[in-house]
Structure formats: C-alpha cells, structure tokens
Structure 1
Amino acid sequence: MVIPPHSILPSLKSPLFSLWLHEHQGQDRTFLSGKIIGGREAVPHSHPYMAFLRIQTLNTTERCGGFLVCEDFVVTAAHCWGSSINVTLGAHNIKEKERTQQIIPVKKAFPHPDYNSNYFNDIMLLQLEKKAKLTAEVSLLKLPSENSQVIPGMVCTLAGWERSGQNISTTKLHEVQLEIQKDKECLSRFKEPYNSTIHICVGNPKEKEDSGSPFVCKNVAQGIVSFGQKEGTPPSVYTRISSFRCWIKKTMKFFKLQAQD
C-alpha cells in the first residue's frame, strides 16, 4: 500500500485548505514573489519551463513564478498559496493571448508539510488539472541531484514577470544573472531564519531581484526565491531544491499512482 506524504492539502477548495490559508494570511512576511527587479527582457520562450501563477487569496489576487517539472506538476514556493491558482505555460507576454500559451487550473496544492513562518521548507508542488502539452515553448526543467552542490561565485539565471528596474511595470518575461554568495552574507543579515542546509544565499550588490521563479544553474533548477528585504536589496534567501528532491519525487509518485486506481 502506498502511504501518502503527510500533511498534504487535498484540494484548494477543501475546508482544510481554507483553514490553513486563514492561519497563514495574517503573517508579517518579507517573502518575495512573482517579480524581478533589474535585468533585461528575455528572448521570447528562452525559458520554456517557466510557469506564471495567478493566485486568488482570501483578499486579493497575487502572482508568482514557478517551473514545470513534469507534464502535470509545477514547483513553486509554499508562500505562493491561494484559494485557487491558474497556471500559464508557454508565455512571454502575459497580457497577450499568445498561441503558445497553455492555461491550466491547479487541481491540488501540496505545500511542504514542514513549511512555517520562518520560511523553512518554502516549497510547494502544484498538480495541474490536466497534463501540459510539451512543445518548443513548453518544456520541463531538471531537478538537481540530492548531493548537488552550488558554490559561492557561481553565476546563475533568474527569470520572472511583473516588474523591471526603476519600478516600471512589465508584462514580458525578464531575466537577470545573479551570483551565489557565501552563507555568512545571509547569516549576518537574517540570522536564525537562514539555514545553509535548506537555503542558498544569492544576490549581487549591483542588482536587485525579487521573484518566486526558479534559480537555474547550468540548466538545472537549484533554488526558488523565498525571502529577503522588503525593498529588494540583496542578498536574498532561496530554497535549496536539492534538499527537497526526495520529497518532490515521492509526492509526485504517490499522486500518479493514485490517479491510476
């Protein structure tokens, strides 16, 4: 018998999810989601794994980034929860009805069972209502191995929508190159909330960044922006995806087997 991952939320519309959402709605958060500051407009569809999330919360509509890890699963940050979520794949300009776009509602949301207000385990799986059709503009992004290492000085790519430099609104996908920092840079800034086993310290002194999207190093998803300064000044803290590979794989496997029953 397959045992389901504990504390999984079965449905975005369930009473359990509504209670969880209510309990977390009032937190004073400095999480960073759905936006990117600085960088440049990306070449259209040069990041085909990107997912744009439109999230309905108790009081408003929010946006986040994410990435397609399987035809019917998207990975994002746990703080990107909501009472309902729609995922847009294959988009460059989110305000346009591009022929490449696939808009799919989220069937179930699975925040990590140990996610908490200190931003520990800030990662979530979204199961889509149907499988995405893989195309040149919609493709999967690789997960890192469990022992994958990223080191200070490595420069990786972050992509996202919503805002560019000088507070100018944008609906087009932007990208920025960011450097991995030494753990001490985030430990001195954030102290207790930073844990090097599940976090990565990222940010350049000359770049401001703010995104719920994947941090990609050599075509592998290594991090997801979790929290930082409200004004967006670096460094920021990213969830270290390699520490959650086992949880991601087990959760997807369980629900794939469940769907076959």
Structure 2
Amino acid sequence: MSCSILSGVSGDKIIDGTEAKAHSRPYMAYLEIHKNNKIYSCGGTLIHPEFILSAAHCQGQSITALLGAHDLSKRNRSWQVIPVMDIVPHENYNNATQANDIMLLKLKQTAKITNEVQTISIAKNNEVFEIGTPCSVAGWGATITKGSISHVLREVDVKIQANCLSDSQICARGPVFFKFYLFQGDSGSPLICSDSKNSPRAVGLVSYRDRKTCEDVHRRNVYTKVSTYQDWIENKIKSLSSD
C-alpha cells in the first residue's frame, strides 16, 4: 500500500496532524466507495455544486459523497449525503505508475451551498507555486499505522518540495522532525495553497508516497498537480453538464 498524505501522512492517512476547526474547510468531501464487495474511503474537493475532484485510484463501482461533515461519528444538520451519478477517471490513468491520478465525480443532486458546504477554486495552469510555498492538507485518514480512519477532520501544514517526479505532480512534506505522512482515507484529498491574492486554491490531490517505508524521514508525499488538468476538468464539466 502506498502511504497517504496527512499529518505527516502515512499510507493513506494523516499521522500526527491536528484536528481541524469544525467546518473551516467547507469544500472537503468524504467519499464512501464500494468496490468488489468492500467499502473504502477517500477524500475529495467540491469544485462546483455538482462536481467533486478526487484521485483516480479512488474509483469504485459506486460512490456516495458526504458534504458538510467534521465528525463522522456525529450526524449533523449540516450534512449532505449525495450519491455520485458519474464516475469519470482520467482516460490515461495508469494504476501501476499512478500517472494521471485524477477523477471527476458528478453528483446525482446539486449540493446546496451553505456555511458548511462551499466550493473552492482550482489552481489555473498559469499560476506558479514556488518551491517552499506553505500549503496544507486535510482528511479523515487513519492517524496511526494500521489504524482505522479518523472520525474528525485532521489537517497538517506542508511545504512544496523540489525535484518532483514529473511536471504533472507536486511533492510536499512537513518538517523533517515531524512525522508527516498520509494513510488510507486521505487519498484524493486536496493540497491547499494560497495564490498571489492570498485566496485558497486546490493545487494538488493526494496520490501516493514515493518511499516504501512510511516512517522514512526523507519520504515525500506525491500529489497530482491540478493545474496540469485544468482543460480536462473544464471540458468534462461542460460535457457532463450538458447530458
């Protein structure tokens, strides 16, 4: 299993992250994925009232999105539980290399925009986020190796790293002394950075870790670079909206 992205994230979960302020990230989606008679979880980003962005390796036979959540163990009036109607992974997604690890989900019903449920803009292909840019990532992934998912949304600060694997990916990690790695459940969650106007943007999607050992201090968490796929995202939204 590849390591996930939060708290220092391992596998697909956030290790050593802190609990996020409730509803401080209203664009976050919790995805329940049914695949081969098993249930998995991933994170996602509400980028349009009808569309969620996530990682292609989170695809399944059926997916249900939970919006407006913080503590998964406590149903709240802010919750919106919406089935996914169309699951659209990138046509060139490679499961072996995790290339083009991006997926668009069309919701069966339009999400109602509230204080707890809001969209976030994606990074554009002309925006540059330099090495060392401070960013953050959040998710409901496990908080300890081999642990279950976190009931509450957790977050961690990271910085963009140099020498990532390809132009369509971003590498980031927390301080070396901080156990930052992702675990199961964090896959597909957004890497959030501020643009030149200090507005938050969805810059990356949790994809995998490039080290086999989650606790390796030199590990890097690898994210799909969202801006590379701006045209793909916009074209898919346009075509699916006209269906």
TM-score range (shorter-chain normalised) is: 0.7 to 0.9
State which drifts further: 31-40 or 49-58. Answer: 31-40
Structure 1 residue 40, shift from structure 2 partner: 0.3
Question: In the alignment, what sits opposite 1:154?
Answer: 133
1:226 is aligned, of 198, 202, 207, to: 207
What per-residue deviation string (whole Å, max 9, x for no partner) do you get for residues 98-136 of structure 1?
Answer: 110000000010000010021110000000000000000
Question: Whole-Å Cα distance in 1 between the matches of residues 93 and 214 of structure 2?
Answer: 22
Question: Whole-Å Cα distance in 2 between the matches of residues 162 and 171 of structure 1?
Answer: 9
Bigger relative CO (Cα 8 Å, ≥ 6 apart): 2
Equivalence map 1:42-191=2 (5 Å): 42-116=20-94, 117-164=96-143, 169=148, 170-183=150-163, 186=164
Structure 1 residue 178, shift from structure 2 partner: 0.6
Equivalence map 1:19-38=2 (5 Å): 30=2, 32=4, 35-38=13-16
Structure 1 residue 35, shift from structure 2 partner: 2.3
Structure 1 residue 257, shift from structure 2 partner: 1.5
Aligned-partner residue type, residue 192 of structure 2:
V
Aligned-partner residue type, residue 168 of structure 2:
I
Aligned-partner residue type, residue 172 of structure 2:
V
Q: Does residue 1:247 correspond to 2:232, yes or no? A: yes
How many pairs were matched up?
220
Aligned-partner residue type, residue 17 of structure 2:
G
Is 2:2–2:12's contact at 8 Å kept on the other side of the alignment?
no
Instruction: Work out the percentage of aligned pairs sharing the same amino acid.
Output: 37
Question: Whole-Å Cα distance in 2 between the matches of residues 173 and 85 of structure 1?
Answer: 19
Question: Whole-Å Cα distance in 1 between the matches of residues 147 and 3 of structure 2?
Answer: 20
1:217 is aligned, of 193, 196, 200, to: 193
Question: Whole-Å Cα distance in 2 between the matches of residues 141 and 209 of structure 1?
Answer: 24
TM-score if structure 1 supplies the norm length? 0.80
Question: Whole-Å Cα distance in 1 between the matches of residues 145 and 240 of structure 2?
Answer: 43
Question: Whole-Å Cα distance in 2 between the matches of residues 68 and 124 of structure 1?
Answer: 12
Which structure has the greater CA radius of gyration? 1
Aligned-partner residue type, residue 227 of structure 1:
Y
TM-score if structure 2 supplies the norm length? 0.85
What per-residue deviation string (whole Å, max 9, x for no partner) do you get for residues 223-261 of structure 1?
Answer: 011111354343111100000011000000011122xxx
Q: Does residue 1:203 correspond to 2:183, yes or no? A: no
What per-residue deviation string (whole Å, max 9, x for no partner) do you get for residues 154-186 of structure 1?
Answer: 110101003225776520000100111111xx4
